[in-house]
């Protein structure tokens, strides 16, 4: 087991057989997503150059990077976010289990922003080029 603030991961042992799912007690950082509360948690994350610099959640604002990360981990823990079960095929099968709670939330939000902004920018560029070329 590798357990630190960024993630908790496991390999070997019961995970040697990739056809067997990881045991429930291996997920120490999150509640089971099927048991997580069915409620919306509103969060706002500000990014500067791809790095989360501000989190607003539950009426609190976090700007210290460590506090922000800890808060995202707690949000992820309660909601069952960040469970990753991977079977790698290389020279041998590797079955890995990760819990990157806070990273999962910030990466998904940032990815969504990039896709939304880039899509809208490309749409505007397309509209402009059609307008210019049709004149």
C-alpha distance from residue 123 to each of 58, 113, 130 (Å): 35, 15, 11
pLDDT band at 134 (very low <50, low <70, confident <90, very high): very low
> H or E segment at 7?
none
Lateral strand order in the sheet of 51-57: 43-48, 51-57, 60-62
Report which of residues 5 and 31 the model is more confident about: 31
Measured CA to CA, the distance from residue 30 to residue 27 in angstroms comes to 6
| Domain regions of the chain by residue span | 2-134
**Global pTM exceeds 0.85:** no
Q: Which fold has domain 2-134?
A: 3.90.1260
Tens digits of per-residue pLDDT, 33-58?
Answer: 888 888 888 889 988 888 889 999 98
């Amino acid at each position: 087991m590798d357990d630190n603030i960024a993630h908790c991961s496991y390999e070997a042992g019961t995970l040697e057989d990739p056809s067997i799912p990881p045991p429930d007690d291996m997920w120490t950082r999150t509640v089971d997503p099927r048991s997580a509360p069915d409620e919306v948690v509103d969060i706002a994350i500000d990014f500067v150059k791809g790095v989360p610099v501000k989190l607003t959640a539950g009426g609190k604002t976090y700007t210290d990077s460590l506090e922000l990360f800890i808060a995202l981990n707690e949000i992820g823990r309660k909601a069952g976010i960040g469970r990753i079960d991977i079977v790698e095929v290389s020279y041998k099968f590797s079955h890995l289990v990760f819990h990157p709670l806070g990273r999962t939330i910030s990466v998904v939000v940032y990815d969504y922003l990039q896709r939304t902004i880039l899509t809208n920018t490309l749409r505007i560029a397309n509209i402009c080029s059609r307008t210019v070329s049709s004149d």
